[in-house]
Amino acid sequence: MERRFTLKDLLLFVSLALLACLILLAMYMVDRQWLKLAQMEQVLREQAADLRGIRDTVRSLERRVADGHLVARGGEGSASGEAIPPAFRRAWEATRQPDYQPGDWRVLAFGTGLKTITPLVSADVYASQVQGYVLESLLVRDPETLAWQGLIARDWQVSDDGLRFTFHMRKGVKFSDGRELTAEDVAFTFAFIMNDAIAAPRSRAYFEKVESVTATGPYEVVFRFKEPYFDALALAGGMSILAKHFYQPYLEKPQEFNRSKGLLLGSGPYRLADPKGWTPDQGLVELERNPRYWGPVQPSFDRLLWKVIENDAARLTTFRNGEIDLYGARPREYKSLLEDRSLATRTMHLEYMSPTAGYSYIGWNQLRDGKPTRFADKRVRQAMTWLTDRGRIIEEVMLGYAEPAISPFNPRSKQHDPALQPRPFDPGKAKALLAEAGYEDRDGNGVLEDAQGRPFEFELVYFQDSEDTKRIVLFLKDLYARAGILMHPRPTEWSVMLDLLDKKNFDAITLGWSSGVETDIYQMFHSSQTVSGGDNFVNYRNPELDRLIEQARATVDEARRMPLWRRCEQILYEDQPYTFLMRRKSLVFIDKRMRNVQVTRLGLNLHSVPVEWYVPGPLQKYVR
């Protein structure tokens, strides 16, 4: 007998559905309560550890007062800034502004996804930016004078022979988990870097000149160099200090460290909420204020957030919507955005060429699968540079917001030889060089062939989400085709590009290097760095250049060192392991909420640590 669906059945069904929803909601609330309890438990543990530390400190002070070792000081120094260490003075001056107020978030965007933010393992500039807020070093540079200032170190001495650097460290510096930072952590960091089981070939390439790092007391550490090194103070003082108690266990399981994605703990003003828990699939990096930060000036922002937005158009939309605080514009965008009145009301814009601006390039791989490539011939590499019309690229793609790159050295630096000028576009010279190297159009089809009849063709790997790079690659494809060379663009994801670099599995690649106050080119061009994971991924070798690099690095006297760097530049100019493309101007729009924005001799003070930017109270969006 057929049974009909009655009102009673409907009410029962609705009741059961409502009950199921209530059960799911209750489960969700219980899960959230457990999460809250876990967070509270962590906070209570941290506070208990801090209280024990405060109690021990008070007892120590009482003993010192009783022993007559502590003398009271007037209270004027702090108010006037006299007691503020030089490394913190710029950030301290920001806190003196009438509208200064701590709080809010600073939200930026990364144009590529991060593969890892674990120190030493990471290889890109974005990861180093994140690490810069978490890890600290003994010294930092003054962004205006470029002089070194003590951060973790309160002072230091250099021996007469320039081989021994003794640093006296500040007491009371703590990692974000409450453990004290001592000289043992500095010595451990060096030992960790130099351990061959740790995937840190880039860092080891620099620290090979260091003979030993020894903790000669709880707060004194000595760097001994094997030989003089022009950048020894920067190398020793700028080493990011790792927490021994956190990273030492990975010496027993190095592969776990080498494969890790987010092992990051330090003494800096910000920290990961979970120093072991970050993964690339999160699509962002979020740092929170370090509640135990030891510095005399506390971080201005509650959080620093970086969203991964690989598409240029999506990144601009996000900035227009006020979801990120800074946008690095492409030249064509910049021109049009300057006319955008709605954007002008809430943003400021800056255009500048930093003295430490990096450069873009095309790298010609000279050895692939153990065999020399066509780019192993210097004449071919020279020809490719003659065929690369950088003038038109700068004018048509960059709209003039760039300058040709001549070498790894900034044209305004003492390392640069002013006699060297950018090679102009000259197809005639290129054709002559290619003919000399054995490339001719042997069958009349418009394509150059080698002596065996194989066409001159290659793949150019580039980052797929950069619109400007895509325009440049397509422009070059047309230029090269007119010369009888078939270039096949290969748009590639960032993570895949990193793998190709590690394996040196490409024909040619276009990328960029950042620069410093004085550029040490050992990492990119010395023959020893053609090893797996090394940064000489184009397999370039020149014994004379190796000798000059080694000699320049060992020459402490600047007047004697600069001619050596200029000779290195002349060799690179002749050999063209890269076709050096250009140095770009920075074209940025910044939300006007951000205050104390400045351009220094190191560029925009965006990445200054301690943080110099802040948001006045009435303009803060992310209120705790």
> Tokens 């109270």 label which residue?
617
- What CATH class is the domain 96-111+269-348+585-624? alpha beta
Average pLDDT over residues 555-564: 94
| Residue 63 pLDDT exceeds 60 | no
Buried-state track 571-603, b at ≥16 Cβ within 10 A, e below 16: bbbebbbbbbbbbbbbbbbbbebbbbbbbbebb
Confidence of residue 53 (pLDDT cuts 50, 70, 90): very low
Q: What integer pLDDT is reported at residue 3 of this predicted model?
A: 53
Provide the angle, in degrees to the nearest 10, between the axes of the packed helices 378-386 and 558-575. 90
Task: Report the alpha-carbon distance of residue 521 to residue 515 in Å, rounded.
Answer: 10
Confidence of residue 48 (pLDDT cuts 50, 70, 90): very low
Residues 6+ apart with CB under 8 A from 116: 122, 127, 260, 261, 262, 280
| Residue 49 pLDDT exceeds 70 | no
| Residue 312 pLDDT exceeds 90 | no
> Tokens 């701590």 label which residue?
102
Task: Report the alpha-carbon distance of residue 415 to residue 597 in Å, rounded.
Answer: 30
Report which DSSP code applies to 395: I
Task: Report the alpha-carbon distance of residue 86 to residue 89 in Å, rounded.
Answer: 5
Q: What integer pLDDT is reported at residue 54 of this predicted model?
A: 45
| Residue 32 pLDDT exceeds 80 | no
| Residue 96 pLDDT exceeds 50 | yes
The answer to whether the beta carbons of residues 122 and 494 sit under 8 Å apart is no
Average pLDDT over residues 496-519: 92
The answer to whether the beta carbons of residues 420 and 384 sit under 8 Å apart is no
Task: Report the alpha-carbon distance of residue 72 to residue 61 in Å, rounded.
Answer: 12
Average pLDDT over residues 63-80: 37
73: which 2 tokens? 């000081």
% of the chain with per-residue pLDDT over 90: 76
Domain boundaries defined on the chain: 96-111+269-348+585-624, 120-260, 359-583
Cα 59 to the center of its chain, rounded Å: 42
pLDDT digits 0-9 by tens, 406-443: 999 999 899 999 999 999 999 999 999 999 999 999 99
- Please tell me whether the overall predicted TM-score, pTM, comes out greater than 0.85 for this model: no
Span 359-583 CATH architecture: Roll (3.10)
- In this structure, the number of other CB atoms found within 10 A of the CB of residue 258 comes to 16
| Residue 57 pLDDT exceeds 60 | no
List the Cα angle 538/540/543 in 5-degree steps. 165
Q: What integer pLDDT is reported at residue 62 of this predicted model?
A: 40
Greater pLDDT, 12 or 164: 164
Q: What integer pLDDT is reported at residue 532 of this predicted model?
A: 79
Confidence of residue 550 (pLDDT cuts 50, 70, 90): very high
Task: Pick the closest to residue 143 from 610, 519, 614 (CA basis).
Answer: 610
Listing DSSP states for 550-618 in one string gives HHHHT---HHHHHHHHHHHHHHHHHH-SEEEEEEEPEEEEEETT-BS--EETTEEGGG-SS---B--GG
What separation, in Å, do the N-terminal and C-terminal C-alpha atoms of the chain show?
Answer: 64
Q: Are strands 457-463 and 508-513 parallel, antiparallel or unpaired?
A: parallel
Q: Which of 5-19, 63-77, 254-268 shows the lowest per-residue confidence on average (mean pLDDT)? A: 63-77
Q: Are strands 457-463 and 486-492 parallel, antiparallel or unpaired?
A: parallel
| Residue 525 pLDDT exceeds 50 | yes
Task: Report the alpha-carbon distance of residue 79 to residue 66 in Å, rounded.
Answer: 28
- Mean residue pLDDT of the chain comes to 89
CATH assignment, 120-260? 3.90.76.10
Confidence of residue 81 (pLDDT cuts 50, 70, 90): low
List the beta bridge partners of residue 362: 510, 579
> Tokens 């006299």 label which residue?
82
Give kind and range of the element (H or E) at residue 10. Answer: helix 7-66
Q: What integer pLDDT is reported at residue 20 of this predicted model?
A: 74
Confidence of residue 601 (pLDDT cuts 50, 70, 90): confident
Confidence of residue 30 (pLDDT cuts 50, 70, 90): low
pLDDT digits 0-9 by tens, 318-339: 999 999 999 999 998 999 999 9
Task: Report the alpha-carbon distance of residue 208 to residue 599 in Å, rounded.
Answer: 35
Task: Report the alpha-carbon distance of residue 219 to residue 571 in Å, rounded.
Answer: 45
Q: Which of 164-178, 238-252, 604-618 shows the lowest per-residue confidence on average (mean pLDDT)? A: 604-618
Confidence of residue 23 (pLDDT cuts 50, 70, 90): confident
Q: What integer pLDDT is reported at residue 24 of this predicted model?
A: 72
Q: Which of 30-39, 133-142, 234-243 shows the lowest per-residue confidence on average (mean pLDDT)? A: 30-39
By residue count, the chain amounts to 624
Beta strands in 334-464 (DSSP E): 347-352, 359-364, 367-368, 371-372, 402-404, 457-463
Average pLDDT over residues 365-373: 95
List the beta bridge partners of residue 157: 166
Q: How far is CA 89 from CA 78, 172, 217, in A?
A: 11, 19, 28
Q: Which of 44-53, 89-98, 484-493, 551-560 shows the lowest per-residue confidence on average (mean pLDDT)? A: 44-53
Average pLDDT over residues 329-357: 90
